[in-house]
Structure 1
Amino acid sequence: MTSLFTQEIRLSKRHEEIVSKRVKSLQQMKSKFRDKNKEKASQIQAAEAAFERNLSLLKDIERAEKFLQARIQPFPPPEVVSLETLYWASVEEYIPKWEQFLLGRAPYPIGVENQNEAEKEAEVKAQQ
């Protein structure tokens, strides 16, 4: 019976040791978890600060780029703007004719108008 009693005491002490180790382990885990959360929060804060800094730098670069472009390329004179507008209007007018030619659905578009006019004039002269 005493051996059972001694065994019970030994098991009880062993149980206390295990419980105390478990408590220490849980405390260490909580401490590490808190440290990781603090580190993660610090990293998030640093990332947000870096994002804001990069955004500010990007805006500064865009402003500097606009400033330099304005200095390098001043606005063209009104005559040039007018000529550009007329040029692009004529390009847009001829796009369908060229498109049909390039797709192989129509003859070469340049000179066709003049050729048609010349043929009409020749027919008119022939009829007279």
Structure 2
Amino acid sequence: MTSLFTQEIRLSKRHEKIVSQRLMLLQQMENKFGDQNTEKACQLQAAEIAFKRNLSLLKDIEAAEKSLQSKICSHLPLEIVSLETRYWASVEEYIPKWEQFLLGQAPYPMGVENQKEAENTVLNEA
């Protein structure tokens, strides 16, 4: 009977040790989980701050671009402004044709005849 009693005591001590280790591990897990949540919150806050900063920088760049564009346009001769306007109108006219070609949904937008005609027109105008 004493052997059963000593075995019971030994098992009881082992059980207490296992339970204390379990509690310690649970506490470590809770701490780690809390640290992860804190870190995630900090990362989200940093991302939000970076997004706002980037948005502000983008607005500043756009404002600077508009300012420079207005300064450049005010100093350009009227002929150059007219050429630029016609150029962009031409680009906008051909964008749909080139988009289809670049997406592989249409043939080359300018045939050989058109290319030679364009070259002849350019040579004649010069």
Report the TM range for the smaller structure's normalisation.
0.5 to 0.7
Q: Aligned partners of 1:90 and 1:19: how far apart in 2?
A: 85
- The amino acid of 1:32's aligned partner reads Q
Runs of 4+ in 1 over 2 A off after TM superposition: 79-93, 105-108
Structure 2 residue ranges without an equivalent (≥5) = 98-108, 122-126
TM normalised by structure 2 equals: 0.65
User: Per the alignment, do residues 70 and 28 of structure 1 end up closer, same or farther by CA in structure 2, a change over 3 Å counting?
Assistant: same
Q: Aligned partners of 2:89 and 2:12: how far apart in 1?
A: 94
Q: Aligned partners of 1:107 and 1:32: how far apart in 2?
A: 74
Offset, 1:106: 6.8
RMSD over equivalenced CA pairs, Å = 3.0
**Equivalent residue number for residue 84 of structure 1:** 84
**Equivalent residue number for residue 16 of structure 2:** 20
Structure (1 or 2) with the larger CA radius of gyration: 1
1:108 paired residue among 93, 116, 119: 116
**Superposition pairs of residues 36-75 of structure 1, within 5 angstroms:** 36-74=32-70
Offset, 1:39: 0.3
Structure 1 residue ranges without an equivalent (≥5) = 113-128
Would you say 1:30 and 2:30 are equivalent positions? no
Aligned length: 102
TM normalised by structure 1 equals: 0.64
Q: Aligned partners of 1:44 and 1:30: how far apart in 2?
A: 21
Offset, 1:67: 1.7
